[in-house]
Amino acid sequence: MVRTTPLFEPFAESDLLCGAELHERFARDGYLFVRGALKVEPLLRARKELTDVLVAAGLAIESEDGPIWTGADPSGFDRLLMYGPQAELHYLDQAEAAEIIECLWGAKPLIWRRVGIFLSFPNEDVSDIFPHRDRIVFTDDAKHYATLWVPLTRIGLQDGGLGIAKGSHRSSVRTVENAARPAQHVNRPTLKYEDITEPWCSSPFSPGDALFFHGRAIHTVTSNAGPRIRIAFALRCQHADHSPTPMYDLSLPEFSRRMSAFHALAEVASRRARERS
């Protein structure tokens, strides 16, 4: 089953020059969308690296406009393979990314090492995944955290586009734990569309565009109805003057391993507690 998505208003577009006005907009809407904020060349190089992995797995053929799906079943594909032999991807020049984020946020960021890479295959069912708030913060208040989401392919509204519920970072709507989530979406408690009253916003994306959103902003993605595999990545960051969240300096594969070990230990502890009682 492929879920229907809400109607989207276009994103308000921002530029990197509006200073205090930008920060007020971010505080009000919980997101900033900037077209052409990033240099395209490194992004296309990153896309090529990731496409090579998909081609080797028989899932894609290369095209000038991004990977085209071969029709092979992606369900057994280990998405951690996307993190490559170097296991740590710096698709954006860190200094450039930090400068852009500081401009958008009005505060110096500490960018986490853990980059999230998100694939969306044509007609993949995303209904159990979205909408959601990120569980990027384990111990602290989400207002100190944000995400820079970066498309690596051209993404139309119905090709796996990302939408934000405008102003939802200020809402107290409750999230529901969802244990059955695919590896790329661990730690994302879900919400129901009907519980969200804020207007949904999105726009078509191209490589070079950047979407910056608040740690509590509710977001979603559309099912991908196009022929291409949609690829995006996300940089997580926090205010630099805020104490670093645990595991901020782990790559995503390391983070996943630690989380699996953590869940396994928690499972053993709860089994022992059950046996004792």
Ligand X SMILES: O=C(O)CCC(=O)C(=O)O
- Interface residues toward ligand X, by CB under 6 A: 116, 118, 120, 134, 147, 149, 162, 219, 221, 232, 234
Q: Which is nearer to ligand X, 17 or 180 (CB)?
A: 180
Q: Which is nearer to ligand X, 18 or 90 (CB)?
A: 90
Exposure of 253 in the CB half-sphere (CA atoms within 13 A)? 12
Q: Which is nearer to ligand X, 22 or 126 (CB)?
A: 126
CB of 73 to ligand X, least distance (A): 19
Q: Which is nearer to ligand X, 120 or 171 (CB)?
A: 120
Beta strands 162-165 and 200-202 are antiparallel
Give CA–CA dist 185/82, Å, rounded. 14
Give CA–CA dist 225/63, Å, rounded. 18
The answer to whether 5 touches 160, Cβ cutoff 8 Å, is no
| Amino acid found at 26 | F
| DSSP symbol at 207 | B
Provide the 3-class DSSP secondary structure of residue 228.
Answer: strand
Q: Which is nearer to ligand X, 22 or 231 (CB)?
A: 231
- The residues facing 228 across adjacent strands are 68
CB of 270 to ligand X, least distance (A): 28
Q: Which is nearer to ligand X, 131 or 269 (CB)?
A: 131
Contacts of residue 107, defined as CB under 8 A and 6 or more positions apart, other chains included, come to 239, 240, 241
Measuring CA to CA, which residue among 56, 90, 66 is closest to residue 252? 90
| DSSP symbol at 88 | -
Q: Name the one residue in this structure whose structure tokens are 């971010």.
A: 26
Triad 255, 215, 252: Cα angle to 5°: 15
CB of 192 to ligand X, least distance (A): 17
Provide the 3-class DSSP secondary structure of residue 220.
Answer: strand
CB of 118 to ligand X, least distance (A): 3
| Amino acid found at 238 | Q
CB of 214 to ligand X, least distance (A): 11
Q: Which is nearer to ligand X, 18 or 189 (CB)?
A: 189
CB of 252 to ligand X, least distance (A): 12
Q: Which is nearer to ligand X, 26 or 118 (CB)?
A: 118
Q: Tokens standing for 11?
A: 């994103």
